[in-house]
Amino acid sequence: MVTQPSRTPLATEHLVGSLTLEEKASLLSGRDFWHTQGVERDGVAIPAVMVTDGPHGLRKQAEGGDHLGLGSSVPATCFPTASALGSTWDPDLLTRVGAALGLETRAADVAVLLGPGANIKRDPRCGRNFEYLSEDPVLSGDLAAALIRGIQSQGVGASLKHFAVNNQESDRMRVSAEVDERALREIYLASFERAVTRSDPWTVMCSYNKVNGTYASQHRFLLTQVLREEWGWDGLVVSDWGAVRDRVAALEAGLDLEMPSSGGRTDADVVAAVRAGTLDEAVVDGAVRNFLRLVDRTVDAVEAPATFDVDAHHALAREAAAAAAVLLRNEPVDGAPLLPLATDGAGVVVLGEFARTPRYQGAGSSLVNPTRLDTALDALRAAVGDDVPFAPGFTIPEGREVAGAGAATDADSLLAEAVALADGAGTVLLFLGLPAVDESEGYDRTTIALPDAQLRVLEAVAAVNPRVVVVLAGGGAVSVAEWQQHAPAVLETWLGGQAAGSAVVDVLTGAVAPSGRLAETIPVRLRDVPAWGAFPGAFGTVGYGESILVGYRWYDTRDLAVAYPFGHGLGYTTFAIDEVTAVARGAGSDATVDVSARVTNTGDRAGAEVVQVYVGDPDAVVARPERELKAFAKVALEPGESRIVSFSLDSRALAFWHPVLHRWSVEGGAFVVSVGRSSRDLAASVRIEVDGDDVALPLSRMSTISELLANDVAGPVVQPMVDGLEPELRSMADDMPAVVLVDFGMAGFDAATLDAVVERANAARA
Ligand code: BGC
């Protein structure tokens, strides 16, 4: 159900006209941590609205408030975190999860849920990657849009965050992300653009950081030019909590609502600026209109009573967590893969503290107080029998350092106990993962390795039993290259929410076929990552020198080895993709490409394949990634079943952001359309020819000879200047500004004549 605005535009205008300046300013900042201010007086009734975190579950604090997850909140379903939801590659499922989140929001009388996050996972060390969906803007944007559509279908608003270029937690409140225009448009904004234009979030939250020197909260280019003027969005921009440094500058730039409360201090700044004539009251009125639109959009839903089915939402959380699990490897041992487990579970032992103390969500403002919590150990015992033996193997450190002789002794005895249990067991399920202290909002990781204590257990266990299945939990990618030879099967489960324990057992037993795919590359080594050496910056800035080569774009373009590529994930069946076709139509910004492929379940179990469409521009005037994801579809198939999947790509799938003309440009020529199962496992590639836009810059007297030669009007005029030159001289001349050769007297005409030719050439192109 989507509520329609209950107040007419006329009534809004009347209201804006009848509010005092002080009242209008007050509407644009918080009353407390989670409420906006209202106005109640003769003839005016504007309710305060409540907003709360967060992306994977409601965190409504009963009283008072903080934004660090310290204060407890009312119980709510803890759905899988974004790193898990991203790995489902399933927009329909995410819309259902969004609808459940929206219903819980509504049932709690809350108007806006503060999520989802659409920041790109630039580096696996970002402490908040568990709150983000992918390293790829198409996947991230489409999945964020799906969540938003679901949330808002319940009549409450979503808040797409953190806009923009907030890709690290280190120094997040001050750091300036120094990013070039192409990377900004093609990677970092593209994720938000897809989400905004495909789902119309009712609010967008600006980030804390600066972008190229300007705080996001005061960034007119981002908040007004891009968001509203280019993307046509009409929602409310809310600050991240405490992100406003200069309220008047922020308002002028397009930030509507400052959160949380400033105790009236910054409201007074706004009033004073209007009275002093330094701030146009029309700016305040515009923000008030945006605020009233949000109230109008949400008021009916918040006022209508609602309840939700706790069991049904838990079941949905379980379904989503199972769909998110990525089977990284499943090598045969004694002729057969270890997974799925034999149905009776005979001989299975469970090791690893995470099996009974699950890691299922991240720390910080997104911390949910779950309605219940499943553990894998309980779920496995329920599935295959109470007698499944268990040993913790290691302790999960609670602080960032654990040390001391006592800890070492404990570690030795825990390890010995685990090895004893593994020795002679049929199959060992070893639950490893990142301790909660390793990843959180507010700080980054410094390593992507699993803790040594856990790797020692793995090595010792593998020495006595080769049948080891590692089940990983964690909000970000961990390196596997140094240890995976000890584990023929590895299942990455991310932070799967409150039902993660039962969901992982569904996958291990084969009750649910694994269908998750990596939404982020797993590198071989931390030092291979694109931002190595730059992340997280120093002295208040962080350089984005890798530019557009983020995630798999980096590894594939540089042909670097990876542990597991973007898009990778195994199932319990096999698939074939064939009959790949790609047909281009139209030209330039009107170009479209129709792609289709047949996918067949060639194994003997049901399963789902994610068909991925990549596009590359092998011969481009600018540097372009080897290939980029442009579309995908998750297809569930019975054994032997085939389906044709079709995709319609628009010109953006071919375009790059022209950094001088400042617009999307399709360069004419060949493109390679590939369809496959990961960025490295391509079933087929089709070469297409597309007529492009004119991507050349306007000509001038400083244009080079080769640039002028490429032009129909100027070419014939400058051709005689280079006719007959020796090859070396010709190469040199081609790259020289024409006016220099004219000044050398090589043209037989003067610079004024050159200017006239250039003018004619530009006029002919216009
Ligand atoms: C976080 C936001 C969150 C807000 C409110 C901030 O610290 O960055 O994501 O929505 O707090 O808790």
Map tokens 């249990």 to a residue. Answer: 421
Distance between CA 46 and CA 6 in Å, rounded?
Answer: 12
Tell me if residue 240 is catalytic: yes
Give the integer Cα–Cα distance in Å for 34 and 51. 5
Question: Is residue 53 lining ligand 1, measured as CB closer than 6 Å?
Answer: yes
The residue among 515, 524, 625, 647 whose CA lies nearest residue 573 is 515
Looking at residue 667, its pLDDT comes to 97
In short, whether 240's Cβ falls inside 6 Å of ligand 1 is yes
- Compute the distance from residue 410 Cα to the ligand 1 centre, in Å: 38
Does the beta carbon of 166 lie inside 6 Å of ligand 1?
no
Alpha-carbon gap, residue 550 to 521, rounded angstroms: 10
Contact 742, 750 (CB under 8 A): yes
Cα–Cα distance for residue pair 742/479, rounded to 1 Å = 59
Instruction: Tell how far the Cα of 365 is from the centroid of ligand 1, in angstroms.
Output: 5
> d(Cα 72, Cα 318) in Å, to the nearest integer?
24
Cα 606 to Cα 600: distance, rounded to the nearest angstrom: 11
Cis peptide before 80 (omega within 30 of 0): no
- Going from the Cα of 626 to the center of ligand 1, the distance in angstroms, rounded, reads 36
Q: Which atom of ligand 1 is nearest to the CA of 115?
A: 10
- Establish how many alpha carbons lie within 13 A of residue 670's alpha carbon, considering only the half-sphere containing its beta carbon: 6
Going by C-beta distance under 8 Å and a sequence separation of 6 or more, which residues neighbour residue 474?
A: 130, 359, 433, 434, 438, 439, 494, 495
Separation of alpha carbons 490 and 504, rounded Å = 12
Q: Which atom of ligand 1 is nearest to the CA of 53?
A: 10
User: Tell me, what's the pLDDT at 292?
Assistant: 97
> Taking a C-beta distance cutoff of 8 angstroms, is the pair 55, 497 a contact?
no
Q: What does the buried/exposed string (b/e) look like for 262-281 if buried means 16 or more CB atoms within 10 Å of the residue's CB?
A: beeebbebbbebbeeeebee
- The pLDDT tens digits for 343-364 are 777 899 999 999 999 999 998 9
- ∠ at Cα 25 (290, 259), nearest 5°? 70
CA–centroid distance, 51 to ligand 1, in Å, is: 11
Cβ of 161 less than 6 Å from ligand 1 = yes
Packed helices 91-107 and 310-324: angle between N→C axes, nearest 10 degrees:
150
CA separation for the pair 664, 589 (Å, rounded) = 8
238 ligand 1 Cβ < 6 A? no
- CA 699 centroid distance within chain: 39
Contact 496, 514 (CB under 8 A): no
List CB contacts of 510: < 8 A, sequence separation 6 or more.
339, 340, 341, 343, 572, 605
Residue ID of nearest Cα to ligand 1 atom 8: 240
How far is the C-alpha of 86 from the C-alpha of 521, rounded, in Å?
13
Other beta carbons within 10 Å of 407: 13
Inter-residue contact 310 to 373 (CB < 8 Å):
no
Instruction: Answer whether 169 contacts ligand 1 (Cβ < 6 A).
Output: no
How far does the centroid of ligand 1 lie from the alpha carbon of residue 49, in Å?
17
Q: What angle do CA 387, 515, 574 make, to 5 degrees?
A: 100
Ligand 1 center–CA 261 separation, angstroms: 14
Helix (H) or strand (E) holding 379, with range, is helix 376-384
* Closest C-alpha to 365, from 57, 59, 68, 66: 68
For residues 89 and 519, is the Cβ–Cβ distance under 8 A?
A: yes
SS3 682: strand
Instruction: Indicate whether residue 440 lines ligand 1 (CB < 6 A).
Output: no
179 exposed, middle or buried (CB, 10 Å; 0-12, 13-18, 19+)?
buried
> Position of tokens 């993709």?
577
DSSP assignments along 269-334, one per residue: HHHHHHHTTSS-HHHHHHHHHHHHHHHHHHHHHHHS-----HHHHHHHHHHHHHHH-EEEEE-EET
* 493 CB-near residues (< 8 Å, 6+ apart): 84, 321, 324, 325, 471, 472, 473, 500, 503, 504, 507
Cα angle for residues 287, 292, 295 (degrees, 5° grid): 135
> Which regions in the chain score pLDDT beneath 70?
1-7, 9-10, 63-71, 399-409
CA of 363 to the centre of ligand 1 (A): 12
The confidence score (pLDDT) of residue 401 equals 47
658 in contact with ligand 1, CB cutoff 6 A: no
Give the tokens for residue 239: 């600050």
Report pLDDT for 404. Answer: 44
* Overall residue count recorded for the chain in this entry: 766
3-class DSSP state of 132: coil
Closest atom of ligand 1 to 172 CA is 8
Ligand 1 and 67: CB distance under 6 A: yes
**Residue reference for tokens 């139209």:** 586
Residue 362: what pLDDT?
A: 93
* Nearest atom (ligand 1) to Cα of 162: 9
Three-class SS state of 650: coil
The pLDDT, as a whole number, for residue 62 is 74
Nearest residue to 201 via CA among 160, 237, 164, 171:
160
SS3 474: coil
Does ligand 1 have an atom closer than 6 angstroms to the CB of 131? no
Atom of ligand 1 nearest to the CA of 117: 9
**570 Cβ contact partners less than 8 Å away, ≥ 6 residues apart:** 327, 328, 329, 330, 514
Q: Which of 65, 66, 27 lies closest to 44 in space, CA to CA? A: 27
Give the amino acid at 582: A
Number of the ligand 1 atom closest to the C-alpha atom of 441: 8
Non-local CB neighbours of 3 within 8 Å, separated by 6+ positions: 155, 297, 298, 299, 300, 301
**Residue 763: Cβ-neighbour burial (10 angstroms; 0-12, 13-18, 19+):** exposed
- 48: CB partners within 8 A, 6+ apart: 31, 35, 36, 37, 38
SS3 call for 566: coil
- Rounded CA separation 595/592 (Å): 10
Note whether 214 and 233 are within 8 A (CB).
no
Distances 204 to 162, 213, 240, 242 between C-alpha atoms, Å:
8, 21, 10, 15
User: What is the chain's Cα-based Rg?
Assistant: 29
Q: For position 553, what pLDDT does the model report?
A: 98
Q: Pick the catalytic residue: 53, 136, 171, 240?
A: 240
CA distance 411 to 407: 6
